[in-house]
Amino acid sequence: MWSGRILSGLVTLFLLFDGAIKLIPLDVVTQTMDQMGYGGSHAMARALGLVTLLCTLLYALPSTSLLGAILLTGYLGGAIASHVRIGSPLFSHVLFGLYLGLMVWGGLWLRDRRLRALLPLR
């Protein structure tokens, strides 16, 4: 249980930070978005920041954590697809969304008895 809480806490802190820097938005965010082909729009960065924060807060709350995990999986899948599209390095950029997704679901699986019953480790 505690391992799941710690893992989920680390992912939550990272994603809250990620969402917050998009809300400001920092220059590194808009420059990266431009390099990825999305333009350097402050409005787009803020919208992505809000989506990130909303999904992360849903994940952090026990009553909506499953919905949050599903939404974060979609969000991270989009990030993976974006990195594949522009030819980013595989292990450091493309698969980073996969690493986070595994931490999201691993933390939830460890801290939620109902999910462990639904998806038992055999």
pLDDT classification of 62: cutoffs 50, 70, 90: very high
Instruction: Give the pLDDT score at 37.
Output: 87
Quick: pLDDT tens for 71-122: 999 999 999 999 999 999 999 899 999 999 999 999 999 999 999 999 998 8
37 φ/ψ sector (left φ>0, alpha ψ -120 to 50, else beta): left
The CA dihedral of 100, 105, 106, 108, to the nearest 10 degrees, is 120
The Cα 34–Cα 66 span in angstroms is 32
Residue 39 clears pLDDT 90, i.e. is over it? no
DSSP for 2-28, written as a single string: HHHHHHHHHHHHHHHHHHHHHHTT-HH
Q: Give the predicted TM-score (pTM) of the model.
A: 0.91
Residue 59 clears pLDDT 90, i.e. is over it? yes
